[in-house]
Structure 1
């Protein structure tokens, strides 16, 4: 296993949003993840009061969830955590590696949203992440995940306009799929308002639904449901899905 510092530096170097937390907050401003998490908790454990979010970034989802739960968040990227401390100082957000971090508490809900789980590629390290989830759970705790369950089917480039704190930018995105490693690589080419360019190479591990279920069961969780990533309740279409599971230990 690479060290947390080395891993954080590598991920930051390959993702413009991690190097620019203001841009991260603006681009990732969609609150679907927080809304789906809350909906799933209200459905399966309406009495939940405490929540731990692993891979919380700048705390944009946690800020919404904290209106309903007593929350704590963890993220690997020091730059994102420092930004969170500046703009959301009322939140409890800490720097930590979700493969190994132990917060010394158990919560009613354990969440891992925004495809954070997909940044862990190795099978043994995925087991370690689920062991972390279990270490912060107790009988009845809900585990809520948002992660890729299939590769992105669109492989050709697509260009979009993106608002940034310094004006409009354009970003061209294409995907590359490696079936053997189950890695979906997203290549992004940014043209920023200044005219500067930046390139990202974001590698995410796809865990197919039955595979995801096996990891959850191995850590003591029973999968209750999997839902389409757009929030639909009529089956799975991919490429992302919400998974809700319950600690049965």
Structure 2
């Protein structure tokens, strides 16, 4: 079995600067509109929703906004992120759990999996197990909202961006690799802070195309209602597409 098939908290933390420094993640992603997009999709397909479960909630940044409108619970694989969420957003119900296996013993009106969390599940069997987790927390009419890459990012030359962080300004140089056989998109980042400090991280994401997502959803008892990307009907920005499905079993 390849190391790409193993998704563990320690491996994720070691590979991603944001996971080692959750506060940095919050500061860089402060303008993310994932929660707003989620609200639009929920209002469109399940306007009466009252309860929500967030799988892969990370630092609780999106969950905090969603909790203004729903009774929310969040789950994340990484104890460091859960600890940060509990310290900085103590009003949230955030728990450590692996979305391939966790069972909370409840269902909800809405299930969400944002921030490309599903893309860190590489193995087909694990993807199927994750959808079974969604089904285990669903009842007829439950809405599922996923954000995940549906196509790889391929670039022949490095990309650069200048970002402001809580550690100061930094120039980030990014390169991408695409492995067609494994459907894994590898992003390598070099962080050069104005302070002189440097850091590198490597992020690997599994890309599931729209038809694959639809098949995994269908086998778990969900029917896909729409898949919306940046060119769709919503005014969104950033990577990833939003898959919306409802549970019918």
TM-score category, normalised to shorter length: over 0.9
> 2: CA distance between counterparts of 1:95 and 1:212?
25
Query: Structure 1 146/231 Cα, relative in aligned 2: closer, same or farther at 3 Å?
Result: farther
- Flag as ranges the 4+ runs of structure 1 deviating above 4 A: none
Shift of 1:231: 6.9
Aligned to 1:241: 241
Say which SS state the counterpart of residue 34 (structure 1) adopts: helix
TM-score by length of 2: 0.93
Aligned to 1:72: 73
Q: Does structure 2 retain, via aligned residues, the 8 Å contact 1:149–1:239? A: no
Write the deviation string for residues 199-236 of structure 1: whole angstroms up to 9, x where unpaired. Answer: 111000000000010000010000000001x37328xx
Shift of 1:163: 1.1
Aligned to 2:107: 106
Unaligned regions of 5+ residues in structure 1, if any? none
Q: Calculate the aligned-residue CA RMSD, in Å.
A: 1.8
Count of aligned pairs: 243
2:228 aligned with 1:227: yes
Aligned to 2:181: 180
Query: Structure 1 38/108 Cα, relative in aligned 2: closer, same or farther at 3 Å?
Result: same
Shift of 1:164: 1.3
Write the deviation string for residues 62-118 of structure 1: whole angstroms up to 9, x where unpaired. Answer: 011001100000111111111111110000011111101111110000000010000
TM-score by length of 1: 0.93
Aligned to 2:170: 169
Q: Does structure 2 retain, via aligned residues, the 8 Å contact 1:150–1:239? A: no
Q: Does structure 2 retain, via aligned residues, the 8 Å contact 1:36–1:231? A: no
> 2: CA distance between counterparts of 1:31 and 1:63?
13
> 1: CA distance between counterparts of 2:53 and 2:32?
17
Q: Does structure 2 retain, via aligned residues, the 8 Å contact 1:50–1:69? A: yes
What pairs up with 1:213-224 in 2 under 5 angstroms?
Answer: 213-224=214-225
> 2: CA distance between counterparts of 1:241 and 1:166?
30
